[in-house]
């Protein structure tokens, strides 16, 4: 190796000393034009890349750091004017003079001012071909060194550069989060803050999240009403932290509504995705966006843009628009990429569209690209095809083979749980020894969401084996025990409600195994005093899904609602009331609790989402609470017209569910509050609905057969009887005043047929319809779904039905599954005696 001359070492040392002692002199000492202004003016006159590259080639020896930054800036401005961004980026990146500019930036970045440094970093990343560009790394390191002096605008731009490199969890992003936290009180620039909020959201505490939400609320009114990007970023931040904060979302929604004419397909698509994840509904925005999107149908003739339109418009489109979307997509289906095919399939799932021709076209594309999908994408494919009832052995076999191959090499708990869950959805959900060992290996690192997924998968596996193979292996039960063990361990190590909730909020309570659910509720009860106005809605929603009655938790929820109602958003009241309605529970301060919640809503009745208002009215009716103002705001022509418009954009299953709730509410008011004089208008709906009455369960068949014996013949009992207002009674019989069964003659109704109405609809039950002293008896079999999961306490809908049948003149006998299948009723004679005792009051001696 050639030795460096001693004089050169000395010169370098002297110059470094000079730079340290007199940095200003050092900068002046560099050789460059006396004024850099003329060069920048020349650059600004360039109209294409070639002119800029010619300029760089001519002046590369004299370009300053400011001029280098200006050259980068001009190249990127020209790129943004191009139609094919990728093509032009490649052209610039491969140009020899771009490499020259790249090298100049590498030599001069330490001299750049802060704005130029960050801007060059941003543009270099756009042009970078390598995943680890040395210049990018050098610029990031230099920016890190200067970080503390960046203002909030520059800090936000730098954080976006890190986000582009997916450095969300890096120490550097953590440092940025710390700077934001320290300066939050004095921050006034919401535009820059919103960028930072999105980029640091993955690594900040719950407390800091709330501080940012509060600060955003304070600053929101300072931004211009046209700031769609700021509003979108705020919604994105709420999505990232999984916080459906209604006040902020409403403000964002108002910005979107004010600027809907300026929104393009990409913007609307992004807003819809955010709303879907946050479960935020804006009927007004949907209708305005639907109109704008429908106008785009003939304009989108490229697969990429049309797929985005299909995905966004499809779930809210009317019948004609859906037909047009599907027919156009069929024509371009063979040109779809794997990513586009998956997006279309998921949209079809949302649309509940089982168009077999389109499904075959889309799955043929999926099949072709199946090897390129990641585990989460494979799960989405499996879920969508399961929902759409698609069955093709060749496709399922390849999908299963691919999932198992991923499972054998995966060590990440979340990924393993995704793969196992996907396999459990396939026609044959078995796992071999390797699959089971992979689950067992990751269990100690699993969070509650992972454990819940595993438990659901194993239970599905057990159910399949029991149904088709009539066997359950010890390995399955052993795996369930291990899941239970690690779940309990994780719950017991929780030391605060906030930390526990970080894991629980993505878990649906109805997917937990019994023992793990019991431990979860016990842990929540341990932290009961930490339930407050911030988390009460989420806790209430979780309990609603569990079907687990904890009076301690429900009493605390009611207490928080009463004491802190002004801090709770009115649009979340339904979520708070729902567990009480579902579980049929009245808290000690019942009237105060319901009254406070309804009073909080009264001034919002005119703007509440129609679906929410119907569900709220039904939930309160289930609890025998009938606020007149709220109910009359539902049963008026204007509201029902709004509801009809909204039903048109819902999926068929959700639309049917809402209509059914409206019918149930209408029925409840007619029976329980006739003084409101609200008419019954659901005859036609109920007649259509009851055409689909299904067959008897095994237990119902047993009861029916025994009733014919107990009552003295098949003509003394009716099955599947429709009452006025269309309640369906499992079995009906009539006893005379001497407790003797009265025969129905030859008009017995077979199960599964639409019975003729035993009485005319809209008529009150009066004694004259029966012989004097006779009574009409309704026998109802209640399966496990009619009761809470932890105790045999009847849920709200079953209790409501019993009330209604009694108003209609029935004596109601409810036979619970727990009694019918108990040891005490294990023989036919015991069951016959049980029925006699319940019907006639006879007790066998």
CA distances, 725 to each of 670, 729, 741 (Å): 9, 12, 25
Instruction: Give the phi and the psi of residue 527 in degrees, each rounded to 5.
Output: -100, 25
- Looking at the chain, the whole-number percentage of residues with pLDDT higher than 70 is 90
Q: What is the mean pLDDT of residues 790-804?
A: 95
Q: What is the mean pLDDT of residues 400-411?
A: 93
Tell me phi and psi for residue 263, to 5 degrees.
-75, 135
**Model confidence over 171-213: pLDDT tens digits?**
999 999 999 999 999 999 999 999 999 999 999 998 999 999 9
Residue with tokens 């509904």: 281
Angle between helices 497-504 and 536-546 (to 10 degrees): 50
pLDDT grade for 765, boundaries at 50, 70 and 90: very low
Is the predicted pLDDT of residue 548 greater than 80, yes or no? yes
CB 475 within 8 A of CB 490: no
DSSP structure string for 466-534? IIIIS---HHHHHHHHHHHHHHHHHHHT--SHHHHHHHHTTS-GGGS-HHHHHHHHHHHHHTGGG--TT
From the CA atom positions of the chain, what is the Rg in Å? 34
Evaluate if residue 755 carries a pLDDT over 50: no
Residues with Cβ within 8 Å of 593's Cβ and at least 6 positions away in sequence, in order, are 558, 561, 562, 587
What confidence tens digit (pLDDT) does each residue in 420-465 have?
999 999 987 778 888 889 999 999 999 999 999 998 898 888 887 7
Please tell me the pTM assigned to this model: 0.83
What percentage of residues in the chain have a pLDDT greater than 90?
64
**Of the given ranges (30-34, 38-42, 703-707, 815-819), which has the lowest mean pLDDT?**
30-34
pLDDT in tens, 76-86: 888 877 765 55
Sketch the domain layout of the chain as residue ranges: 34-149, 693-745+761-840
């Amino acid at each position: 190796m050639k030795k460096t001359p001693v004089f050169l070492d000395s010169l370098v040392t002297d110059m470094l000393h000079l730079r340290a002692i007199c940095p200003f002199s050092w900068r002046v000492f560099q050789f460059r034009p006396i004024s850099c202004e003329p060069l920048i003016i020349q650059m600004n006159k360039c109209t294409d890349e070639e002119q800029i590259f010619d300029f760089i080639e001519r002046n590369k020896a004299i370009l300053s750091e400011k001029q280098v930054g200006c050259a980068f800036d001009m190249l990127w401005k020209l790129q943004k004017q191009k139609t094919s961004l990728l093509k032009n980026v490649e052209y610039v990146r491969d140009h020899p003079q771009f490499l020259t500019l790249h090298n100049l930036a590498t030599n001069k970045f330490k001299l750049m001012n802060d704005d130029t440094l960050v801007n060059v970093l941003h543009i270099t990343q756009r042009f970078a071909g390598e995943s680890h560009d040395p210049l990018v790394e050098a610029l990031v390191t230099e920016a890190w060194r200067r970080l503390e002096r960046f203002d909030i605008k520059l800090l936000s731009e730098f954080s976006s550069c890190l986000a582009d490199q997916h450095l969300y969890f890096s120490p550097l992003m953590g440092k940025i989060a710390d700077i934001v936290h320290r300066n939050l009180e004095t921050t006034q620039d919401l535009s820059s803050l919103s960028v930072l909020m999105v980029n640091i959201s993955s690594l900040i505490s719950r407390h800091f999240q709330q501080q940012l939400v509060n600060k955003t609320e304070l600053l929101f009114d300072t931004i211009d009403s046209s700031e769609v990007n700021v509003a979108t970023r705020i919604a994105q931040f709420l999505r990232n932290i999984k916080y459906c904060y209604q006040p902020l979302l409403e403000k964002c929604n108002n910005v979107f509504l004010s600027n809907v004419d300026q929104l393009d397909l990409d913007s609307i698509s992004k807003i819809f995705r955010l709303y879907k994840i946050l479960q935020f509904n804006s009927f007004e925005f949907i209708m305005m966006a639907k109109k704008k999107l429908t106008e785009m149908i003939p304009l989108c003739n490229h697969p990429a843009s049309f797929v985005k339109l299909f995905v966004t418009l499809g779930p809210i489109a009317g019948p004609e628009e859906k037909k047009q979307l599907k027919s156009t997509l069929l024509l371009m289906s063979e040109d779809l990429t794997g990513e586009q095919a998956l997006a279309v399939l998921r949209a079809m799932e949302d649309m509940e569209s089982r168009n077999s021709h389109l499904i075959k076209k889309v799955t043929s594309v999926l099949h072709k690209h199946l090897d390129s999908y990641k585990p989460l994408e494979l799960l989405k494919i499996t879920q969508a095809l399961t929902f759409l009832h698609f069955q093709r052995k060749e496709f399922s076999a390849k999908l299963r083979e691919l999932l198992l191959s991923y499972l054998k090499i995966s060590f990440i708990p979340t990924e393993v749980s995704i793969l196992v869950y996907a396999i459990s959805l396939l026609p044959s959900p078995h796992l071999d020894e390797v699959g089971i060992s992979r689950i067992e290996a990751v269990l100690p690192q699993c969070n509650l969401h992972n454990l819940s997924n595993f438990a659901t998968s194993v239970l599905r596996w057990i159910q399949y084996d029991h149904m088709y193979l009539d066997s359950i292996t010890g390995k399955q039960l052993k795996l369930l025990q291990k899941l239970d063990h690690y779940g309990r361990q994780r719950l017991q190590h929780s030391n605060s409600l906030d930390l526990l909730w970080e894991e629980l909020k993505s878990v649906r309570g109805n997917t937990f195994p019994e023992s793990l659910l019991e431990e979860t509720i016990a842990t929540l009860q341990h932290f009961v005093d930490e339930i407050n106005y911030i988390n009460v809605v989420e806790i209430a929603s979780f309990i609603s899904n569990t079907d687990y009655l904890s009076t301690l938790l429900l009493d605390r929820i009611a207490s928080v609602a009463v004491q802190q109602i002004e801090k709770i958003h009115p649009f979340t009241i339904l979520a708070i009331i729902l567990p009480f309605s579902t579980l049929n529970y009245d808290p000690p301060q019942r009237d105060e609790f319901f009254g406070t919640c309804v009073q909080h809503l009264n001034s919002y009745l005119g703007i509440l989402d129609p679906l929410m208002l119907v569900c709220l009215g039904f939930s309160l009716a289930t609890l025998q609470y009938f606020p007149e103002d709220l109910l009359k705001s539902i049963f008026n022509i204007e509201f029902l017209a709004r509801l009809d418009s909204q039903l048109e954009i819902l999926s068929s299953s959700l639309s049917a569910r809402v209509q059914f709730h409206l019918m149930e509410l209408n029925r409840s008011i007619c029976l329980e509050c006739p003084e409101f004089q609200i008419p019954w208008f659901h005859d036609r709906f109920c007649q259509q609905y009851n055409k689909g009455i299904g067959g008897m369960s095994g237990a119902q068949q047993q009861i029916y057969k025994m009733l014919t014996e107990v009552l003295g013949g098949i003509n003394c009992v009716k099955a599947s009887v429709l009452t006025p207002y269309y309640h369906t009674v499992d079995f009906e019989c009539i006893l005379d005043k001497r407790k003797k069964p009265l025969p129905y003659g030859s008009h017995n109704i077979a199960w599964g047929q639409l019975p003729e109405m035993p009485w005319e609809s809209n008529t009150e039950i009066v004694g004259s319809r029966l012989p004097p002293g006779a009574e009409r008896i309704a026998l109802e079999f209640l399966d496990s779904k009619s009761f809470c999961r932890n105790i045999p306490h009847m849920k709200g809908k079953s209790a409501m039905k019993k009330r209604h049948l009694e108003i209609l003149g029935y004596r109601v006998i409810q036979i619970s599954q727990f009694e019918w299948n108990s040891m005490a009723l294990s023989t036919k004679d015991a069951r016959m005696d049980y029925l006699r005792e319940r019907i006639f009051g006879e007790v066998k001696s």
